[in-house]
Amino acid sequence: MRPTVHDIAAAAGVSLATVDRVLNRRPGVRHVTREKVETAIRELGYIRDVAAANLAKGRTYPLVFILPASDNSFMHGLNAEIRQAILRSPAERTDIRTIEVPAFDPAALVSVLEGLSREKPCGIAMVATDAPDVRAAVDRLVRERFPIVTLVSDLTGSLRHHYAGVDNIAAGRTAARLLGRFLGARKGEIAVLAGSMLVRDHRERLEGFTSVMAEEFPDLAILPVLEGRDDPEVAHRLVADALGNAGIIGVYSLGAGNRGLVRALKEKAVDRTLTVIAHELTAHTRAALIDNTIDAILNQDAGHEVRSAIRVLKAKADGLAVIDAQERIRLDIFLKDNLP
Amino acid sequence: MRPTVHDIAAAAGVSLATVDRVLNRRPGVRHVTREKVETAIRELGYIRDVAAANLAKGRTYPLVFILPASDNSFMHGLNAEIRQAILRSPAERTDIRTIEVPAFDPAALVSVLEGLSREKPCGIAMVATDAPDVRAAVDRLVRERFPIVTLVSDLTGSLRHHYAGVDNIAAGRTAARLLGRFLGARKGEIAVLAGSMLVRDHRERLEGFTSVMAEEFPDLAILPVLEGRDDPEVAHRLVADALGNAGIIGVYSLGAGNRGLVRALKEKAVDRTLTVIAHELTAHTRAALIDNTIDAILNQDAGHEVRSAIRVLKAKADGLAVIDAQERIRLDIFLKDNLP
DNA sequence: GTTTTTTTGATTTACGTACATCAAATTTGG
DNA sequence: CCAAATTTGATGTACGTAAATCAAAAAAAC
């Protein structure tokens, strides 16, 4: 049988109350006594029964998710996954609240973060906007012992405990290699459609993409980036215009707004064999992959990201270890054959 | 606050004991009373606190993993992941035992399964060998209310509750499309290295591969399958021989034993531009991907499979729902850029 | 050595559920 | 209508931990 607090007390020759004081870092224990207890804990291999502890504490996990108010399929999906998680709240003892902040607005994000230090959630998940002020606010909260994970978009250089999202540089590199290999020995130009270069994940994807293109596919020239602001209408216009250029043989869409991209491709490129790689599996991109308008989709699974963020925050709140391999968010590559 | 059994008792106007009888399907409750309680449960939205229930029951989950005694990297990896899970046992209240059976030996597997119905584990995970006897044995255990999940290799047509593994037909199709697209417009022959056509997952991968090749890449001819028995030495000999054929421009290795494949490629194909797709990310295939000997690796994550199997078995044992999207084992596609 | 402070022990209640026991109430059969 | 059988209630203990109280013991300060 697994040892309990009683066994520890007996082994250390102290009372239950003292063991409790040590376990829960309560004051009033002499150093030598604390050592005795800790030795007993180590020797018996005691592990606190988290379920029993949470029961006794009546613990719940108030969590806050901070999301940008962006109107695109991916963010809608992310929201939906958080709602699913809220439905599971009773069973998971979580109490999840979402806060929407204007997208790409560091000041707004900072003020929300500052408000949180009064509210005392036991964990914060946030889609980070990359700015020095935000980094400072996050670091401050971490120092106040709030568990924080970044979601989808990271805040490198900050003290956040974990990042629940894909490696966007790797994603861009992968897109480049797929596109390059699919195009074989052909020469030509590549159009790149992004949302905005103000967003870190988009910048990173582009960075990864261009570096592999430059290193390994010198016959493919990358045209100036089209910034579609994740808006289908804007994306449509930009892509439609760009396709006037007959030298384009490939397209990489690294942001959202793919509905517009697909429409432009169907209107302007029926007679051409374009190779197209896009991000995020949505109803539109899925249909386009199936009808061969798109050749491959790179995806991050919003459901996994949300569940992982919750697991990590709970573990941090309890001071427990996380299974790193389990929490790595993988880059999904979908061809028409392995769609879920 | 979440309603408790006390609230249910009060709402239904019965005693705690009666609520308990209803909740735990104990006898001695009149039909009308049972209805009253069930109504109260529904109306208050009562959900049993599984942690408290397990605490009270002193519940553990004795689980059995049945694995083939195969000596290849993938099975070693799977074993390692199960050992990891065993290390987590105290925290997860599991009690995991593994049983090795001779590979590809339905009779041995059946006799192990029959032995289990006496041992009463609360769940069984097994790498299935595809045979009618096995199917029958599994169905028998399912009828005796044992939760059963198949691992890595499925047993379609049986009553198993869940399959923790990838869709191998989709994997084969994906391999074909990747290979076809990478080869572009080139014509030539494709060598296929398998472990054994007696294993269902290998048969399915081949089936998916050949069907996409036939449909979409008619210029590529598939040579007769080389059966390497997942053995590096055999694989090396077969591939080295096959590479005497100068018409070969691509290789698909759908089984294990890739160490031999890689060695053969390095010896015989230095001067040629072969496109190679292999299964399972191991130290050898990873190195080969990085040095461009292999172009893409398809992988199933053994850690995810094991953890998913455990989660599903526990949920089934408790009669709880599983999050389907979370338990879908995805096919990983690795290029050298998105290696973990 | 006495007082003050700090440390430790003993004990109790609580969390939400499971499960057992025994008595009381109700229903059923004859 | 009575006896037997069934159903229900009341109650207590247990699971492993948290957290509180108050008394007792030990250590530190004077």
CA to C1' distance (Å), from B91 to C17? 20
pLDDT band, very low/low/confident/very high, at A281 (cuts 50, 70, 90): very high
SS3 of B163, please? strand
Is it the case that residue B277 has pLDDT exceeding 80? Answer: yes
pLDDT digits (tens, 9 = 90+) for A144-172: 989 999 999 999 999 999 999 999 999 99
Burial of A246 (0-12, 13-18, 19+ CB in 10 A): exposed
Q: Domain A5-48 belongs to what architecture?
A: Orthogonal Bundle (1.10)
- A50 interfacial to chain B (CB closer than 8 Å): yes
Region of residue B13 (phi > 0: left; psi between -120 and 50: alpha; otherwise: beta) = left
pLDDT at B46: 92
pLDDT at B318: 83
One-character DSSP codes across B132-154: HHHHHHHHHHHHTT--EEEESS-
SS3 of A196, please? coil
Nearest to B335 by CA among A181, A253, A152: A181
Rounded to the nearest 10 degrees, what angle do helices B168-183 and B200-216 cross at? Answer: 40
Is it the case that residue A205 has pLDDT exceeding 90? Answer: yes
Which ranges constitute the DSSP H helices of A184-282?
Answer: 200-216, 232-242, 258-268
CA-CA distance, A75 to A71, in Å (whole number)?
Answer: 7
Is it the case that residue A26 has pLDDT exceeding 80? Answer: yes
Is it the case that residue B191 has pLDDT exceeding 80? Answer: yes
Is it the case that residue B155 has pLDDT exceeding 90? Answer: yes
pLDDT at A19: 93
Nearest to A225 by CA among A215, A237, A239: A239
**Which residues lie across from A101 on neighbouring strands?**
A68
**CATH number for the domain formed by residue range(s) B58-165+302-329:** 3.40.50.2300
pLDDT at A51: 87
SS3 of B210, please? helix
> B325: which residues sit within 8 A by CB, 6+ positions away?
A301, A303
pLDDT at A211: 97
pLDDT band, very low/low/confident/very high, at B29 (cuts 50, 70, 90): confident
* Sheet-wide strand order for A148-151: A94-101, A61-68, A123-126, A148-151, A162-164
Kindly provide the residue ranges of all beta strands, DSSP E only, lying in chain B, ordered along the sequence.
61-68, 94-101, 123-126, 148-151, 162-164, 188-194, 220-222, 226-227, 248-253, 275-279, 296-299, 332-334
In the numeric block, which tokens belong to residue A265? 């491709």
- B57 interfacial to chain A (CB closer than 8 Å): no
Is it the case that residue A256 has pLDDT exceeding 90? Answer: no
Is it the case that residue A214 has pLDDT exceeding 80? Answer: yes
CA-CA distance, B308 to B152, in Å (whole number)?
Answer: 11
Kindly list the residues from chain B whose CB atom is less than 8 angstroms away from the CB atom of residue A340.
328, 330
- A104 interfacial to chain B (CB closer than 8 Å): no
Do B314 and B59 contact (CB within 8 A), yes or no?
no
**Which residues lie across from A78 on neighbouring strands?**
none
CA-CA distance, A202 to A253, in Å (whole number)?
Answer: 10
Cβ atoms < 10 Å from Cβ of A20: 15
pLDDT digits (tens, 9 = 90+) for A225-241: 999 888 889 999 999 99
Kindly list the residues from chain B whose CB atom is less than 8 angstroms away from the CB atom of residue A311.
none
One-character DSSP codes across A25-49: T-S---HHHHHHHHHHHHHHT----
Do B221 and B189 contact (CB within 8 A), yes or no?
yes
CA B191 → CA A245, B246, B314, distances in Å?
40, 11, 43
Which letter, b or e, does each residue of A74-88 get, where b requires 16 or more Cβ atoms within 10 Å of its Cβ? bbebbbebbeebbee
With residue A96 as reference, give the H or E element that holds it.
strand A94-101
Please state whether strand C lies within 7 Å of residue B53 at its CB atom. Answer: yes
CB-based contact A295 B181, cutoff 8 Å: yes
What helix, strand, coil percent values describe chain A, rounded to 5? 50, 15, 35
Radius of gyration of chain B (CA): 25
Average of per-residue pLDDT across A164-182 = 97
- B181 interfacial to chain A (CB closer than 8 Å): yes
Do A142 and B306 contact (CB within 8 A), yes or no?
no
Bases on strand C under 7 Å from any protein CB: 6-12, 14-21
pLDDT digits (tens, 9 = 90+) for A84-123: 999 988 888 899 999 999 987 899 999 999 999 888 899 9
pLDDT at A333: 98
B270 vs B23: which has the higher pLDDT:
B23
pLDDT digits (tens, 9 = 90+) for A36-50: 899 999 999 999 998
Q: Which residue of A has its CA nearest to B57?
A: A52
CB-based contact A167 B336, cutoff 8 Å: no
pLDDT at A106: 92
Amino acid at A91: A
Nearest to B184 by CA among A141, A179, A134, A300: A179
pLDDT at B6: 93
pLDDT at B215: 95
Nucleotide nearest to B46 (CA to C1'): C16
Region of residue A93 (phi > 0: left; psi between -120 and 50: alpha; otherwise: beta) = left
Largest CA distance in chain B: 84
Is it the case that residue B319 has pLDDT exceeding 90? Answer: no
Tell me which residue has tokens 């700015």.
Answer: A131
- B56 interfacial to chain A (CB closer than 8 Å): no
Kindly list the residues from chain B whose CB atom is less than 8 angstroms away from the CB atom of residue A333.
333, 338
Is it the case that residue B198 has pLDDT exceeding 80? Answer: no
CA angle B276, B279, B281 (to 5 degrees): 105
Torsion angles phi and psi, residue B81, rounded to 5: -65, -35
> A54: which residues sit within 8 A by CB, 6+ positions away?
A93, B51
Average of per-residue pLDDT across B139-143 = 95
Amino acid at B81: E
Cβ atoms < 10 Å from Cβ of B43: 12
Kindly list the residues from chain A whose CB atom is less than 8 angstroms away from the CB atom of residue B332.
330
Do B149 and B162 contact (CB within 8 A), yes or no?
yes
pLDDT at B176: 98
Nearest to A22 by CA among B148, A266, A323, A30: A30
Domain B168-299 CATH class label: alpha beta
CATH 3.40.50.2300 domain position(s) in chain B = 58-165+302-329, 168-299
Q: B111 CA to chain A: closest CA distance, Å?
A: 31
pLDDT digits (tens, 9 = 90+) for B298-318: 999 999 999 999 999 999 988
Nearest to A93 by CA among A63, A70, A116: A63
| Tally of helices (H runs) and strands (E runs) in chain B | 15, 12
Q: Which residue of A has its CA nearest to B331?
A: A338
Tell me which residue has tokens 């209803």.
Answer: B22
- B272 interfacial to chain A (CB closer than 8 Å): no
pLDDT band, very low/low/confident/very high, at B203 (cuts 50, 70, 90): very high
Is it the case that residue B2 has pLDDT exceeding 90? Answer: no
